[in-house]
Structure 1
Amino acid sequence: MSEVPIPPQWEYRVIHINVDNRTPPQPPDPQVASQKLGGTLSPEFISREFPQQYGPEQRAQSAPKHPAEQLQHFLNLLGKEGWEMTTTAQVGQLLMFFFKRLLPVDATPAAPTLEPTVEPAEVPPQSP
């Protein structure tokens, strides 16, 4: 009996970018982030809990980068994870990026097996 080859299986990822040319990008600011959250999180808390985005080192080197450079860095990170960009599309103010990558062979779900279900027998109540 010959085995039927399993076709490749893909997983997909969609990323969107809000296209707004009215305001230039600003470096991360914990004060602004706190204000956007209505003050529910203090700037100090945001800086401490999210040091990669709002820590002192990040603010020291937070000269705004050109959007193309930011996008290139982001796309390179996805490429290192095995994602391949397949297409882009714009929907209103959203620029959509579509990616795919092969599912690892061991991550593919096994075909469901049909096993008979056995209903538990009803136990009559016992008298005290």
Structure 2
Amino acid sequence: MEGAPERKRWEYRVIHININTNAGKPTPGDASRHMHGALSPEFLQREFPDLYAKKKAAPHPAEQLQVFLNSLGAKGWEMVEAAQVGALLMFFFKREQLDASEARAAGSSDRGAAATTPTPAPASAPAPADSPPDPS
């Protein structure tokens, strides 16, 4: 239809986080019990010191998530939904696709590459006529 407004085009990104609450830090005693005592906790501690070493606490998960979400927001991604599916927390993002001239004007390599450069096909396969853009 002539004169009809052009529809916005969107690209989407889905991120998942495993929220399994049973994944505690292993201990040499737990590993020894799991192997029915075949290896002693002392042996496991001595032979695998990096695995059982006391480590500096990581930042709180909320702080880690905030840093990650802010980095996506800085690239133009807007979170539109969060949902739990089993042990996965799914985050759904979208951003408007830019045409080539808008991408150049924006000057963002992240945005321009995702909006205008098709994903290259493997060398052994012919390139499809209309490849989807890279989701990054």
TM-score (norm 1): 0.50
Q: Distance in 2 between matches of 1:20 and 1:87?
A: 20
Deviation at 1:5, TM superposition (A): 1.6
Q: Distance in 2 between matches of 1:17 and 1:10?
A: 23
Unaligned runs of 5+ in 2: 26-55, 101-114, 118-128, 130-136
Q: Distance in 2 between matches of 1:12 and 1:2?
A: 29
Q: 1:80 aligns to what?
A: 74
RMSD between superposed Cα atoms in Å: 2.6
Q: Distance in 1 between matches of 2:17 and 2:92?
A: 12
> What is the identity percentage for the equivalent residue pairs of Structure 1 and Structure 2?
58
TM-score (norm 2): 0.48
Q: Distance in 2 between matches of 1:2 and 1:17?
A: 45
- Is contact 1:13-1:100 (8 Å) kept? yes
Change in 2 beyond 3 A, CA 1:24/1:81: farther
1:11 is aligned to 2:15? no
- Is contact 1:10-1:102 (8 Å) kept? yes
Instruction: Give the paired residue count.
Output: 74
Deviation at 1:69, TM superposition (A): 0.2
Unaligned runs of 5+ in 1: 26-61, 113-128
Q: Distance in 2 between matches of 1:108 and 1:63?
A: 41
1:100 is aligned to 2:100? no
For the pair shown, which has the larger CA radius of gyration, 1 or 2? 1
Q: Distance in 2 between matches of 1:65 and 1:23?
A: 17
Q: Which has the higher contact order (CA 8 A, sep 6+)?
A: 1
Q: Distance in 1 between matches of 2:86 and 2:13?
A: 20
